[in-house]
Amino acid sequence: MQIAFIGTGSMGGLLIESFLRSGALQPKQITASSRTLSKVERLSARYPGLKTASSNVQAALHSDIIFLCVKPLDFQSVLSELKDVVTEEQIVVSITSPILLAHLESILPSKAAKIIPTITHSVLSGASLCMYGERIRPEDRLLLEQLFSSVGTPVPIPETQVRTASDISSCGPAFLAYILALWADAAESRSGLDRNTAIQLGAQMLLGTGRLLTEGGFTVEQLQQRVAVPGGVTAEGLQVLQEHLFQVFPELIKTTTRKHEHDLIKLDKLFENIEA
Ligand SMILES: NC(=O)C1=CN([C@@H]2O[C@H](COP(=O)(O)OP(=O)(O)OC[C@H]3O[C@@H](n4cnc5c(N)ncnc54)[C@H](O)[C@@H]3O)[C@@H](O)[C@H]2O)C=CC1
Ligand SMILES: O=C(O)[C@@H]1CCC=N1
């Protein structure tokens, strides 16, 4: 199986390195292209056998799966280049949420999928959100999900839920890191607990909490109940969170959804300019 990566910035590079580290792919199975050639050349130097393509078209030719790892506004030019080159047998995968499967399928003759990865794939964990176009066959889904199960957990979702789902799985690491930083700052100023120690404690706690909620068999309700011993401090702390956090997540979802919808409108206009 041959895989192309178009765009080797933050996420394209991370995906390549994660698939290689997991052992799911060998360097000789990968061809990469990017607007900045030096980024691909660095990867080729680090992973002998990984092929540097001099153009996106060259990367796409002879690849079974083509990952598009560019930002939404760069799709117009990439799809214009690929539309006369890709075939019905190839699978083109977008890793960005505002690019609709319908857009991809209306422009490209290939099969189309959308898989939203997460920075946590770099440590072989986290959920990859999987959405499939009409031309994707069961064996294509299997192939993609097998590949992504090497770096995390593939989770099929309806495309209409991509924003709220990726708020959790892809933006979530940034959101939780922000909360942890605030918590560590408060701990330090209140008790003198060293900020780095507080962050280390928090990171271990997040790791363990994730494990309890997956392999540990706990539900979120059971976990609260088990930790909040009657008459103890956790129950008092939960009360504070109930009072102050109640509005935060509806507001967060409202804000990210508004931005997503704005992006969709902008992209719809751009896609009108590409002739299938
Ligand atoms: N950062 C994250 O945790 C996640 C990001 N994403 C999505 O990944 C997408 C890419 O984000 P990043 O990798 O952070 O961006 P980036 O800016 O680091 O990388 C994009 C790369 O595409 C290249 N590029 C641009 N136009 C090109 C073209 N015409 N042909 C070939 N290469 C081209 C650029 O040179 C750059 O290296 C974004 O749309 C983002 O929504 C998805 C899930 C998680
Ligand atoms: O901030 C962003 O737009 C991207 C999408 C998911 C994570 N990062």
Q: What is the largest CA-CA distance in the chain?
A: 68
Q: Is the CB of 120 under 6 A from ligand 1?
A: no
Q: Which atom of ligand 1 is nearest to the CA of 70?
A: 22
| Ligand 2 atom nearest 166 alpha carbon | 6
Is the ipTM above a cut-off of 0.90?
yes
Superfamily of domain 3-158: NAD(P)-binding Rossmann-like Domain (3.40.50.720)
Q: Is 93 within 8 Å of 115 (Cβ atoms)?
A: yes
Among all chains, which residue has been given the structure tokens 């080159």?
A: 85
Q: What ranges do the domains of the chain cover?
A: 3-158
Amino acid occupying residue 244: H
Q: What's the 171 CA to ligand 1 centre distance in angstroms?
A: 15
- Going by C-alpha positions, the residue among 47, 54, 79, 80 that lies closest to residue 66 is 79
With a 6 Å cutoff on the Cβ, whether 171 touches ligand 2 is yes
Torsion, CA 93, CA 95, CA 99, CA 103, rounded to 10: 0
* Gap between the Cα atoms of 32 and 52, Å rounded: 5
User: For residue 273, what pLDDT is reported?
Assistant: 76
CA of 174 to the centre of ligand 2 (A): 9
Closest residue to atom 28 of ligand 1, CA basis: 35
Which residues are registered as beta bridge partners of 30? 3
How big is the CA angle at 92 (ends 102 and 23), to the nearest 5 degrees?
Answer: 140
- Round to whole Å and give the CA distance between 83 and 1: 21
Q: Which ligand is nearest to the CA of 163?
A: 2
Count the Cβ atoms, other than its own, within 10 Å of residue 226: 11
Asked whether 50 lines ligand 1 (CB < 6 A), one says no
Q: Specify the residue for token string 């507080």.
A: 198
Segments of the chain with pLDDT less than 50: none
Query: Any idea which residue has 């052992």 for tokens?
Result: 23
Best mutation site among 99, 170, 175, 262 for ligand 2 pocket (most ligand atoms within 8 Å of CB): 170
Q: Is 218 helix (H, G, I), strand (E, B) or coil?
A: coil
* Pocket residue to mutate for ligand 2, from 171, 262, 267, most atoms within 8 A of Cβ: 171
